[in-house]
Structure 1
Amino acid sequence: MGMLKRVLLFIATNILVIATISIITSALGLHSYLTAYGIDYVQLAIFCAIWGTAGAFISLFMSKFIAKMAMGVVIINPNNATREERFLLEIIYGLAKKLGLRKMPEVGIYPSPEVNAFATGPTKNSSLVAVSSGLLMNMNRDEIEAVLGHEMSHVANGDMVTMTLIQGIVNAFALFLSRIIAYTISVAMSRDERGDISYLTYSLFTIIFDILFTLLGTILVAAFSRWREYRADAGGAKLVGRDKMIAALKRLQMASGIEDERAPSLAALKISHHSSWMSLFSTHPPLEKRITRLEELK
């Protein structure tokens, strides 16, 4: 049930954002793309691009701050790091050099019994990699190295930015299509001989189609998220060795019963996240499929 709640929350959040945009624009009369001759598609495209991507990019630029606050991430200071912390820094810095990153990511630990880790940040050269205290207690050196290899692959691939772009584009298309369809229906329902539409009817249909297209868009975003997890697994295997990566995923599989439910929005960023029975909306493939994919990797 916990996984179902997260999926529904993820969907509801996206729907709420788009619905809020619809209500605000309707209440303020921001319909500059509607003219006496119909829709100005250029104006509509600009409107949708701005409103659709703004929220996604604001979240991206605040992602490190939100992660630190929500999960209580303690950033490791290289100057007074403990032995365990230096061990993490050495692995991360070594992987960063292999990947050709110009700037080392921030590295932190968050207190949690879950065996997990995540990477976030607005760019690959301004990133954060955080591991749970539960992961450090339950994994050996090779498994920890593999998990960090997976997360550093996300960083090197620029997955945080790509996810934001995809989410923004999906939001923009949802706004664009819903307004065209809402306008078409409103014109068809109009009893005015001049074809003038009711803004109340138009606004109502806009909100309905915003929700529908956002729901469909969530499926596309989730599909990309699953693909990037496979890619990061392969990247981690290339960096530290396939056997280490498989061993790490098997360890995650054994510890998958414990999940930290703080900050549901960060769940999609973690290396381990329960797959839902609603597979179309799952941000992660099942761990058994990820293990099988690596075992078949040449």
Structure 2
Amino acid sequence: MMRIGLFLLTNIAVLIVASITLNLLGVDHYVSGAGLNMTSLLIFCAVFGFAGSFISLFLSKKMAKMTTGTEIITQARNSDEQWLLDTVAELSEKAGIKMPEVGIFPAQQANAFATGWNKNDALVAVSLGLLQRFQKEEVKAVMAHEIGHVANGDMVTMSLVQGVINTFVMFFARIAGYAVDSFLKSNDEESQPGTGIGYFITVIVFEIIFGILASFIVSWFSRYREFRADEAGADLSSNHAMIGALQRLKAEYEMPDQMPGQLTAFGISSHMKSGLMELMSSHPPLDKRIEALQKRG
């Protein structure tokens, strides 16, 4: 219920922000009797495309805490929590960023994630299961990987990529919808001015098709940044420790994933997939990640 509420609130915020922005820009409706106004259409799609991405980005820390049940460590209650705080502080200083908030979420599956709207206002969290079962050297490597995401600005970059993808999916779907609608009207002498049902149906169909195709691009970029975060984790901890952590994750991959879908892309691991599903996965196979680190020497 809470996730549904957050989803609805986010979408309401997108509509409000986008509507205000379009009004301030003075963007007229992009369909008129003269045809499509490409400039207005592109601005319309860009405002809605980026509004969703950036509102989600700005709310990411709060949503992550609520959906995962992450408890922020404000004051260490035991030696493990103190060690975790000290480790993140050490890694953050080495990476040249402000220390993020540090949290633990109650999941037995070994995972961790990073989120936040900028590198100096971030959150890194680790699952209770990983903290309890992994050796300290492996936990440090996992946290180094997450600090690598933060230092590389991956959250902002992914939001920009998603915003661009959203914009062009909406843009080309509406062009296709207008073309189909115009074709149908050319064969209907009683058609009325403006867009018809053919336009709206075609837009929905093409948004689904283009959205699926665009997801391959987003997933490819997400997999690429995982390799970069692994390299950053190896530099901040050690290559040996990063490889060991990934091997340990591989040994535990059959445990059910307890991370919400919107955070899976920013976790240290995800379920292994093959074939077409691998191309749509946000993470490369662990074997490939381990092999890439081994090649570094």
TM category (shorter chain) comes to 0.7 to 0.9
Check 1:216–1:31 CA distance in 2 against 1; reply closer, same or farther (3 A cut).
farther
Q: Counterpart of 2:124?
A: 129
Larger displacement relative to structure 2 (147-156 or 200-209): 200-209
- The answer to whether 1:288 aligns with 2:287 is yes
Task: Tell me, in whole angstroms, the C-alpha distance in 1 between the residues paired with 2:125 and 2:259.
Answer: 15
Task: Tell me, in whole angstroms, the C-alpha distance in 2 between the residues paired with 1:246 and 1:224.
Answer: 22
Mapped contact 2:112–2:267 kept (Cα < 8 A):
yes
Count of aligned pairs: 272
RMSD: 2.2
**SS class of match (1:124):** coil
Instruction: Give percent identity, aligned residues only.
Output: 44
Alignment partner of 2:105 out of 110, 120, 142: 110
Q: Deviations over 1:85-126 (max 9, x none)?
A: 11111111111111111x210001111111111101111111
**SS class of match (2:282):** coil
Gaps of 5+ in 1: 1-12
TM-score, with length taken from structure 2 = 0.86
Mapped contact 2:107–2:128 kept (Cα < 8 A):
yes
Mapped contact 2:33–2:194 kept (Cα < 8 A):
no
Task: Tell me, in whole angstroms, the C-alpha distance in 2 between the residues paired with 1:186 and 1:280.
Answer: 34
Q: Counterpart of 1:179?
A: 174
Q: Counterpart of 1:77?
A: 74
Check 1:262–1:228 CA distance in 2 against 1; reply closer, same or farther (3 A cut).
closer
Q: Counterpart of 2:201?
A: 204
Q: Counterpart of 1:63?
A: 60
Q: Counterpart of 1:228?
A: 225
Mapped contact 1:187–1:195 kept (Cα < 8 A):
no
Task: Tell me, in whole angstroms, the C-alpha distance in 2 between the residues paired with 1:196 and 1:281.
Answer: 41
Larger displacement relative to structure 2 (156-165 or 257-266): 257-266
Gaps of 5+ in 2: 1-6, 20-26
Q: Counterpart of 2:92?
A: 96
Check 1:232–1:263 CA distance in 2 against 1; reply closer, same or farther (3 A cut).
same
Equivalent residues in 2 for 1:150-189, closer than 5 Å: 150-189=145-184
Alignment partner of 1:36 out of 33, 37, 62: 33
Q: Counterpart of 1:297?
A: 296
Q: Deviations over 1:171-195 (max 9, x none)?
A: 1100000111111122122235799
Q: Deviations over 1:252-277 (max 9, x none)?
A: 11111113335222111110111323
Q: CA deviation at 1:81?
A: 4.0
Mapped contact 1:186–1:197 kept (Cα < 8 A):
no
Q: Deviations over 1:25-54 (max 9, x none)?
A: 9xxxx9800122211111001100111121
Check 1:247–1:162 CA distance in 2 against 1; reply closer, same or farther (3 A cut).
same
Task: Tell me, in whole angstroms, the C-alpha distance in 2 between the residues paired with 1:259 and 1:87.
Answer: 27
Equivalent AA in structure 2 for residue 212 of structure 1: I
**SS class of match (2:117):** strand
Task: Tell me, in whole angstroms, the C-alpha distance in 1 between the residues paired with 2:259 and 2:137.
Answer: 28
Runs of 4+ in 1 over 6 A off after TM superposition: none
Task: Tell me, in whole angstroms, the C-alpha distance in 2 between the residues paired with 1:36 and 1:192.
Answer: 16
Q: Deviations over 1:45-79 (max 9, x none)?
A: 1100111121121111111111111111111114x
Q: CA deviation at 1:82?
A: 2.1
Q: Deviations over 1:3-42 (max 9, x none)?
A: xxxxxxxxxx9xxx8xx99xxx9xxxx9800122211111
Question: Which of the pair has the greater relative contact order for Cα pairs under 8 Å at 6+ separation?
Answer: 1
Q: Deviations over 1:152-180 (max 9, x none)?
A: 00000111111111111111100000111
